[in-house]
Amino acid sequence: MESDKVKVLLTGSHVLVLEGLHRILKDDENLEVVGVAKHIDEAIQRAHVLQPDVVVLDIDTQGTEGVWATREFKAKIPEAKILVMSIGDELLDKAIEAGASGYMTKSSEVHDFTSAIHQVFKGLCPIAPSITKGILKELVKLKRSMNDLVLTDREKCVLRLIAEGKNTSEITESLYISISTVKRIVGIIFDKLGVDDRPQAVSEAVKRGLI
């Protein structure tokens, strides 16, 4: 009778790391480690024979070729689902671009790691909680920086007129203010939006929902 367990192939050159991971995965009755490979070429060969559901790849132990190993594995076995593990998040974007289905750090909790394997098997893309927290914080910070921008009513009026294609003279006529005042306000708008010219100011204002 065929097993319903998720078959896992472990890959990495640090024996102690793989042995420790092997012991951890044994405690999950729904996971089965079907093989261990020290190098990517060996892993590819074993994957052809063992047909693992998920390949856990330690990219730290592959030296500078860690990301390449992920890409090579996907090139040889496109259907492979690879869960990458690393010390930190420095290689996250490169690993995902190379074809990794998930990314976990070695400091991840046991439950999070085993859960990630199941998620990869189901077609999801798990990322280590410590990394996702950092990403969320950056997103919140970015959103706040965008929302915290405050323009005065006069600055908003000038910005709207700029968006309408009005030049400096036309703006002075519309608002009954001097040319020097218009130039000063435009400079302030540029500084607040972090831009260098009027087209950029309009584009950034649209992105931020200011006009």
Tokens of 117: 């394997």
Task: Compute CA distances 111 → 24, 49, 108, 118, whole Å.
Answer: 10, 29, 8, 11
Dist CA 199 CA 113 (whole Å): 48
Return d(Cα 113, Cα 17) in angstroms, integer: 14
pLDDT, position 1: 41
Q: What are phi and psi of 127, to 5 degrees?
A: -125, 140
The position carrying tokens 């831009």 is 195
Chain-centre distance for alpha carbon 139: 11
CATH of region 6-129, choose from 1.20.1440.130, 3.40.50.2300, 3.30.420.10, 3.90.1200.10: 3.40.50.2300
CA gap 69, 66 in Å, rounded: 5
Tell me, what DSSP letter sits at residue 210?
-
In the chain, where the domains are located? 6-129, 147-207
Q: Does an H or E element contain 194, and which?
A: none
Q: Tens of pLDDT along 62-117?
A: 555 778 889 989 999 999 899 999 988 888 888 998 999 999 998 889 999 999 99
pLDDT at 89: 87
pLDDT attached to residue 192? 87
- Please list the ranges in the chain whose pLDDT falls under 50: 1
CB count within 10 Å of CB 1 equals 3
> If residue 67 lies in a helix (H) or strand (E), which one and from where to where?
helix 66-76
| Inter-CA distances, 187 with 64, 149, 158, 168, 210, Å | 47, 15, 11, 12, 17
Which of 1.10.10.10, 3.30.2130.10, 3.90.1330.10, 3.40.50.300 is the CATH number of 147-207?
1.10.10.10
Where are the alpha helices (H) located in the chain, listed in sequence order?
Answer: 15-26, 40-50, 66-76, 92-98, 110-121, 129-147, 153-163, 168-175, 179-193, 198-207
Residue whose structure tokens are 């959103």: 143
- Candidates 85, 88, 69; CA nearest to 77 is 69
Q: Which tokens go with 27? A: 């405690």
Q: Which helix (H) or strand (E) holds 83?
A: strand 82-86
